[in-house]
Amino acid sequence: MSPLARSFYERVTPVVAQELIGCFLHSAVEGEEVAGRIVETEAYLEGDPASHSFKGITARNASMFGPPGIAYIYRIYGIHWCMNAVTGPAGKGEAVLIRALEPVLGEDLMRRRRSLQDRRLLCSGPGRLCQALGITGALNGASLDVPPLWITRNHERVRNVVISARVGVAKGREQMLRFLDRDSQCVSRR
């Protein structure tokens, strides 16, 4: 399976967010590879009050303004990590939040990392999937076309992509920028 190239990410962000549904996210942080099928994403845009890039570049969000095809990873609520794929032209500050996966490879390691058995709960949230894949801030800014963190295309067609309002955002709630696979059991709640 070949990784998605930079040109995939260097496009209109909501389109990238929609086309990432069905693709595979892989990690190999301690040698052992695990992977999941992306079933839920959200787009964060330039001039979008819900986006971390809204108030300009800072130490935390700098990688969001970097070149398309790298990871923007941040800590939230002191505990959890969340992972984005940076999109659009470099300097624009747009990205796609990966919100949920369906486990495909390395379920046992995911279960160990999550201290949890239920397959549907292993990766069904942005913080959960980072824990399951061993993704931390150490990978912030990493390129998404090579190990230890990479995304590959799935040639299987996704039958039903649902579009909805984003989860957990205070501002910009009205925008329909969340994409999910209706047929997956592994999407996040709400």
Partner DNA sequence: AGGATGATTCTCT
Partner DNA sequence: GAGAATCATCCTT
Smallest Cα–Cα separation from 127: which of 144, 116, 31?
116
Instruction: Find the length of the chain.
Output: 190
Task: Identify which range of 5-13, 56-64, 152-160, 176-184 contacts DNA by CB under 7 A.
Answer: 56-64
Among 6, 111, 114, 153, binds DNA (CB under 7 A): 114
The smaller minimum CB distance to DNA, of residues 137 and 147, is found at 137
Instruction: State whether residue 131 is helix, strand or coil.
Output: helix
Among 60, 120, 173, 182, binds DNA (CB under 7 A): 60
Residue linked to tokens 């150490």 = 138
User: Site mask, DNA, residues 138-167, x = CB under 7 A?
Assistant: ----------------------------xx
The smaller minimum CB distance to DNA, of residues 29 and 71, is found at 71
Q: How many residues bind DNA (CB under 7 A)?
A: 38
Query: Hey, what's the torsion of the CAs at 172, 175, 180, 185, to 10 degrees?
Result: 60
- Count how many Cα atoms sit within 13 Å of the Cα of residue 174 in the half-sphere of its side chain: 0
Among 6, 11, 80, 153, binds DNA (CB under 7 A): 80
